[in-house]
Chains A and B, each alone.
Chain A
Amino acid sequence: DAKTTQPNSMESNEEEPVHLPCNHSTISGTDYIHWYRQLPSQGPEYVIHGLTSNVNNRMASLAIAEDRKSSTLILHRATLRDAAVYYCILRGAGANSKLTFGKGITLSVRP
């Protein structure tokens, strides 16, 4: 499985934008970039996914580099509820499209 690299942690202020980076230099042409987050004492939660183009949904935006070797998850206005571990995951096509989690990045949000 292609691997992702994320910083261990990041801090942000409430109501400010947050940019969470992810490097995936060995990504293959058919790998989708998925982001999940895990709030304390909960199971992971889907955030967003994309293949080549930037994506937006009600939770976040995903900016994908032109060479697809990196991507950035953007939270437009961080809230205290956004404090969580964010996982950047490459997910290949195939019968078994498992999620391969790394350690993720721990986001802290200051009031």
Chain B
Amino acid sequence: DAGVTQSPTHLIKTRGQHVTLRCSPISGHKSVSWYQQVLGQGPQFIFQYYEKEERGRGNFPDRFSARQFPNYSSELNVNALLLGDSALYLCASSLAGRVVDTQYFGPGTRLTVL
């Protein structure tokens, strides 16, 4: 079975630009979460979606937005990129996003902002 897939693998942008990252969950999983991992730190929670509804949002500015599609795939959008947005962006899927549901992570998208 395919795991969580993310695209693109790597991305280079310049300050002020916009970026869209994509995630396809494991088949049958209805919840998707996004995390940002800066070098040397643990992942930080950005968003969780379940059945196309936002379930939670971390402490990130409004430049960050996301959505989930009817097929449960998801996009993370970041506007007006800053140098500090350079990070590994991880997507995780789970059956329903409950506390007992294991989250399965994708390999991430490495974003570099110049």
Q: Which residues of chain A are within 8 angstroms of B104 by Cβ–Cβ distance?
A: 46
- In the bound complex, what is the Cα–Cα distance between A93 and B105 (angstroms)? 20
- In the bound complex, what is the Cα–Cα distance between A87 and B42 (angstroms)? 8
- In the bound complex, what is the Cα–Cα distance between A107 and B97 (angstroms)? 29
The count of chain B contact residues (Cβ–Cβ below 8 Å) is 26
A43-B99 CB under 8 A given contacts A98-B45, A99-B45, A103-B41: no
Question: A-side binding surface: helix, strand, loop or mixed?
Answer: loop
- In the bound complex, what is the Cα–Cα distance between A43 and B9 (angstroms)? 12
Q: Which residue of B48, B97, B102, B108 contacts A43 across the interface (Cβ within 8 Å)?
A: B108
Query: Chain A residue with minimal CB distance to B96?
Result: A97
Task: Tally inter-chain residue pairs, CB-CB below 8 A.
Answer: 59
Q: Which residues of chain B are within 8 angstroms of A46 by Cβ–Cβ distance?
A: 102-104
Query: Chain B residue with minimal CB distance to A44?
Result: B105
Q: Contact between B55 and A95 (Cβ–Cβ < 8 Å)?
A: yes
Query: Chain A residue with minimal CB distance to B41?
Result: A103
A97-B42 CB under 8 A given contacts A43-B105, A43-B106: no
